[in-house]
Amino acid sequence: MEKERVKCLIIGSGPAGYTAAIYTSRANLNPVLYEGMQPGGQLTTTSEIENFPGYPEGVGGFDIMDDMKNQALRFNADIRDGFVESVDFSVRPFNVVVEGVKEIEADTVIIATGASAKYLGLEDEKKYAGMGVSACATCDGFFYRKKTVAVVGGGDTACEEAVYLSGLAKEVYMIVRKDYLRASQVMQDRVMNKENIHVLFNTNTVGLFGENGVEGAHLVKFKGTPQEEKLDIAIDGFFLAIGHTPNTGFLNGQIQLDENGYIVTEGASTKTNIPGVFAAGDVADPHYRQAISAAGMGCRAAIDAERYLTDNNLK
């Protein structure tokens, strides 16, 4: 297997990964970045971004990630296709295998692999991706001002998204498959106190419809029971709020994770429980999940990595 030694390896290519590449490149760390299965990360599935500073007219998801990538390339970051298959953090330098054909020895590693939104598994979710289907109300809610939307889920995240959307949209449906909300009582109260939020209990989404985007949802109440009832609702947007899965499978349990699988970092830093390994972006952030906060973490991870190399005479 081909071998290579690097000072800083960045795994992942969303806002966190590309920002880390910009900062480590400017610090003369000669970083190598592997883009992974989805170059540009989740943001590339968003058609229009209006809340990232510096783009007063808004910007497309692919465009903003191209800008970040090109900025990193300008400072000679080594950005490569491919995905990391496995890591070994028990040795120094760290050992990382890329697609079973290349072995990287790295003095520092920045993990920026992001998280993947959970979907219902409907074909219509793919069909209407970027055309009414979203997994981020904070990102896309602005486009549904004075319109009607639906939020799928019954936990805290779903309630938070529904309350947020209720301040923008004319009407918000919450589609909950159980006969109760799993959210904390305070979040349940907030939902129930909003006049324009309508909770549909015992309800499953079985499809979406529309000509040039989402215009409605096919629902089934009391699915699989004698009371089963089919109905359609007219909506302009369909928001998934059933959770995210952090992309940490390749770590094989070598990094401390929280109960939901997110990488645990030390205080306000990006340090993990393995000295020399840092985490940035959605893979270590179950709370904000925004491009701007991921980019900020990428900056911090780069600075943490540079200081680690300096303190350990590896620079």
Q: How confident is the model at residue 50 (pLDDT cuts 50, 70, 90)?
A: confident
pLDDT digits (tens, 9 = 90+) for 240-281: 999 889 999 999 999 999 999 999 999 999 999 999 999 999
Element (H, E) at 102: strand 102-111
Average pLDDT (127-141) is: 90
* Tokens coding 242: 């059933």
Instruction: Find the catalytic residue in 107, 124, 140, 282.
Output: 140
The average pLDDT across 128-132 equals 91
Percentage of the chain beyond pLDDT 70 is: 99
Which pTM value belongs to this model? Answer: 0.82
260 in Cβ contact with 286 (< 8 Å): yes
139 is catalytic: yes
Q: Each residue of 260-276: b (16+ CB within 10 Å) or e?
A: ebbbebeeeebbbebeb
Closest CA to 190 of 147, 224, 221, 156: 156
pLDDT of residue 47: 65
Report the alpha-carbon distance of residue 128 to residue 131 in Å, rounded.
5
Average pLDDT, the chain: 94
Which of 120, 310, 149, 163 has the alpha carbon at shortest distance from 235? Answer: 149
Q: In this model, does residue 61 exceed pLDDT 90?
A: no
Chain centroid to Cα 116, Å, comes to: 6
With a cut of 70, say whether residue 123 has pLDDT above it.
yes
What is the pLDDT at residue 42? Answer: 78
pLDDT above 80 for 46: no
Whether the pLDDT of residue 108 is over 90: the answer is: yes
CA 18 and chain centroid, separation: 15
Least trusted range by pLDDT, from 37-41, 53-57, 63-67: 37-41
**Cα 140-122-48 angle, rounded to 5 deg:** 20
Full DSSP string of 34-48: E--SSTTGGGGG-S-
- Residue 156's pLDDT band, with cuts at 50, 70 and 90, is confident
**Residue 8 appears among annotated catalytic residues:** no
Among residues 139, 236, 282, 285, which one is catalytic?
139
63 labelled catalytic: no
Q: What's the start-to-end Cα distance of the chain, in Å?
A: 26
Catalytic residue among 8, 107, 136, 304: 136
Degrees, nearest 5: CA angle 282-287-292: 55
